[in-house]
Structure 1
Amino acid sequence: MTQQYKHLFFDLDHTLWDFDKNSEVTLLHLYNEYKLEERNIAPFTEFLDIFNYHNDRLWTRFRSGYIKRDELRWKRFWLTLLDFKIGDTALAHELSSAYLEMLPTQTLLVPHAKEVLEHCSKKYELHLITNGFENTQWMKLQYSGIASYFKEIITSEKSNCLKPHTDIFDYALKATGGTINDSIMIGDALEIDIKGAYNAGWDQVYYNPARIEHDHNPTHEVESLQELLEIF
């Protein structure tokens, strides 16, 4: 069945590049460097949870077109600080700049990511479709040592559209020479990667390590990336 595929399209954050762990390492560094504990921002775990809450919420608004990229980047810190009763816009911008500079240099990958890419690259053309920002995503790929596996990197900036909109999947086919029948999307976000690909007519692999219950019927579903070795 899988021999029909020629093009494997991966999501990056949370699917190959371990966003949660890399972000936590970065935020802990900033927490200590900016002495946030001395400003009664404690404990770090609470700071982390609040940041993640605002980051997820603002990304949802960004994907829906309600806010711009730059607003997302600094407001996630501003709103986090406000939750600790600190109304410091300058500090929010400083933290945002430092975070964006350090985050993409982190190198932690999801378990088995490199093994899977090495295996699949021998039989298929590998590409990325990511809503992340162009320069940031390229840095992640280069620092983590996986850039060479991918022929095309489709970002929301380059394509001028975002998953789950079908336009970005159509753009990806034109950029790679792929077709609906010989392409498959692999990602961790049900609403964004999987339903987006489904609506564009593509097959999908839902990477679901948390075993989230859902009512969708993806082409394949895996709990570990290692299971992709059995599919491809």
Structure 2
Amino acid sequence: MKTYQHLFFDLDHTIWDFEANAKDALKESYLHHELALRGIEPFESFYEKYTYHNKKLWDRYTKGLIIQRELKWKRMFLTLLDFKIGDEPLARSLSQDFLDRLPIRTKVFPYTFEILDYLKKKKYNLHLITNGFNRIQEQKLVNAGLQDYFEIMITSEQSGCLKPNAGIFEYAMDVTGATPKNSIMIGDNLIADIQGAANFGMDSVFTNHIEDDTKHLATYEIRHLKELEDIF
């Protein structure tokens, strides 16, 4: 089995449970802004529409078609439009409130701390490569108690590139002293993490939490973080 020295984790959807945390934070914002009184109900409908627009805008953002600032508030604005409410100030207020609440959520996937302890004891160098925003990702790490496990966090803001662009992986190699041959990418996104790593000449682990039956280029596939013990 190949020997690795540097393990690069994605954060959201891989170890930090983005869906669960985002839903909790969005519900708090929904209640705080009393959206039900404006005819936006039930919450599940609001959440479903937000998820749809968020996914589409993130896809545009990763392709460089929109900027970060536009992504943040437009996903709320488009969601409100689905309920016949064209209120830009409300959308911007919702966006800021949601982004304030999101990083203080602390749900991680099962076995997260156990596997990170295991990997640290085995003397691996643990890092993060994330397309998330600097301040928010740092807050997530601190609030979830994850900050001490990782030596360096590389973000798209910091590197000026988004996964799967090779630039973010090149930047990661420069700041960590790693090489593609002694590194591996661990993530849930088949394009950003798996295809990105493959294009860069890095091995990868597909963290298939949703048990999607799909073909991929990953070197390994796991359906639970505990399975990393079989690889490292």
Bin of the TM-score, shorter chain as denominator length: over 0.9
Shift of 1:32: 1.1
Aligned to 1:124: 124
TM-score (norm. length: structure 1): 0.98
Gaps of at least 5 residues in structure 1 are none
In structure 2, the partner of 1:206 is 206
In the TM superposition, what are the counterparts of 1:73-222 in structure 2 within 5 Å? 73-122=72-121, 123-222=123-222
Tell me the CA shift for residue 77 of structure 1.
0.3
Q: Which residue of 2 aligns with 1:22?
A: 21
Deviation at 1:112, TM superposition (A): 1.0
TM-score normalised to the size of structure 2? 0.98
- 1:96 counterpart SS class: helix
> CA shift at 1:218, angstroms?
1.4
Count the aligned residue pairs.
231
Structure 1 position 133, deviation (Å): 0.4
Tell me the equivalent position of 2:67.
68
Deviations along 1:19-63, whole A, 9 cap, x unmatched?
A: 100001111111111111111111111100110111111011001
The alpha carbon displacement at 1:107 in A equals 0.6
CA distance in structure 1 between the aligned counterparts of 2:138 and 2:115, rounded to whole angstroms: 20
Aligned alpha-carbon RMSD (Å): 0.9
Deviation for aligned residue 1:147: 0.6
Query: In the alignment, what sits opposite 2:40?
Result: 41
CA distance in 1, matches of 2:217, 2:163: 19
Q: Secondary structure at the match of 2:15?
A: coil
- Whether the aligned pair in 1 keeps the contact of 2:203 and 2:218 (CA below 8 Å) is yes
SS in 2 for 1:132: coil
| Contact 2:198–2:217 under 8 Å retained in 1 | no
Deviations 1:151-193 (A, max 9, x none): 1100001101000011111111111111111100000001110
The whole-number CA distance in structure 2 between the counterparts of 1:45 and 1:155 is 31
The amino acid across from 1:86 in the alignment is I
> What residue in structure 2 maps to residue 31 of structure 1?
30
Cα distance between partner residues in 2 of 1:216 and 1:15: 16
SS of match in other structure, 1:181: helix
Structure 2: give runs of 5+ residues left out of the alignment. Answer: none
Deviation of the 1:113 alpha carbon: 1.1
1:215 deviates by 2.6
Q: Which amino acid aligns with 1:171?
A: Y
